[in-house]
Amino acid sequence: MAAIFSFKCASVHPRAHHQRPFIVLEESGHPLAVDDHQGISVQRAQEIAEAAMHGSA
């Protein structure tokens, strides 16, 4: 799972009222950075969530 965190954060934008910050990832070939910049399908989001919750096969 460590490979998921191998991308760089370009900037962090704090938000009001204790909301989570808005994070912009640096463009790269990392699959999560690509999904962040180009959009992600519901199916792909489900695959990521299932792998994170249950481990990838």
pLDDT value at 25 more than 90: no
Q: What is the pLDDT of residue 31?
A: 84
Question: Domain limits at 25?
Answer: 2-54
Cα dihedral sign, 23-24-26-32: positive
How far is C-alpha 8 from the geometric centre of its chain's CA atoms?
11
What confidence tier does 8 reach under pLDDT thresholds 50, 70, 90?
Answer: confident
CA distance 57 to 5: 19
- The predicted model gives 39-53 an average pLDDT of 92
Q: What is the pLDDT of residue 29?
A: 84
- The predicted model gives 33-41 an average pLDDT of 90
Q: How many domains does the chain have?
A: 1
Helices H / strands E in the chain, number of each: 2, 2
